[in-house]
Amino acid sequence: MVEAVQQELTLEKVQQAVNAILQALGNPENNLQIEAWTAFQNGDYQTVKRFASTNLADSYCKSLGYLGGAFKLTPNTDTILAESARAAADFAKERTLRQLGNAIAKALN
């Protein structure tokens, strides 16, 4: 049986996790993502959530949409961070696939 260790969440710990997720996301790649990033930076998390909810295929917006809720330090903070990290990883994968596809197309032309 595995015992979970309960550690107190602090804004500092959450900020470290958020920073790691933002680093994985990297820079926004289109106007929508720039708008979402700007809203996130301004603390307008509701707008970011709206971008995420109306652009369901955009993993960048999805990741940012979760992140604002992480700062509330609720029992769901771990889940919020995990979902944001998964969306950031999806975005990184999509970006890498796009870059590799372009590189292969360029090499084979």
What residues does each domain of the chain span? 28-108
Supply the mean pLDDT for the chain.
Answer: 94
23-64 pLDDT tens trace: 999 999 999 999 999 999 999 999 999 999 999 999 999 999
Q: Is the dihedral of CA 55, 95, 76, 37 positive or negative?
A: negative
Residue 5 binned pLDDT confidence (cut-offs 50, 70, 90): very low
Token pair of 28 as six digits = 């926004």
Q: In this structure, what token pair is assigned to residue 42?
A: 């301004």
Q: What pLDDT is recorded for position 7?
A: 75
- Measured CA to CA, the distance from residue 40 to residue 37 in angstroms comes to 5
